[in-house]
């Protein structure tokens, strides 16, 4: 039989969403950025237990996915701010719905 090999790709919209916001830290990073613009140190202090390496990696992935914007100011010492893009802002109702589901089904 001649079977065509399927390319490696995400086939489910939910799977795509999980790929973008999945993991231990991304939702928590987003939570902080929904409040407003943050610098790296502010994010690291707000996320107890995250290492500098992990925060850098997660921010880079969110930036690559178009969720987070990284703004570098040309000054000494360098100043970098992180904020949500318009696309990133659209995740708020998704995370709010997940929060409500968790309250309803997992408390108690």
> What's the whole-number mean pLDDT along residues 54-78?
95
The pLDDT tens digits for 29-42 are 999 999 999 999 99
Confidence of residue 69 (pLDDT cuts 50, 70, 90): very high
Confidence of residue 16 (pLDDT cuts 50, 70, 90): confident
Domain ranges of the chain: 13-106
Averaged confidence pLDDT in the chain = 90
Confidence of residue 62 (pLDDT cuts 50, 70, 90): very high
Tell me the CATH number of domain 13-106, given options 2.60.120.1140, 1.10.10.10, 1.10.3720.10, 3.40.50.150: 1.10.10.10
Cα torsion 102, 104, 107, 108: sign: negative
In three-state form (DSSP H/G/I as H, E/B as E, the rest C), the secondary structure along 25-51 is CHHHHHHHHHHCCEEHHHHHHHCCCCC
Nearest residue to 23 (alpha-carbon basis) of 59, 58, 74: 58
Confidence of residue 47 (pLDDT cuts 50, 70, 90): very high
């Amino acid at each position: 039989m001649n079977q065509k090999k399927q390319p490696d790709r995400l086939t489910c919209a939910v799977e795509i969403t999980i790929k973008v916001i999945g993991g231990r830290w991304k939702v928590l990073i987003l939570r902080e950025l929904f409040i407003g613009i943050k610098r790296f140190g502010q994010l690291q202090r707000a996320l107890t237990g995250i290492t500098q390496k992990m925060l850098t990696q997660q921010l880079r992935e969110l930036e690559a996915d178009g969720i987070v914007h990284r703004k570098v100011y040309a000054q000494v010492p360098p100043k970098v701010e992180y904020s949500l893009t318009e696309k990133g802002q659209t995740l708020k109702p998704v995370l709010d719905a997940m929060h409500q589901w968790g309250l309803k089904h997992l408390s108690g």
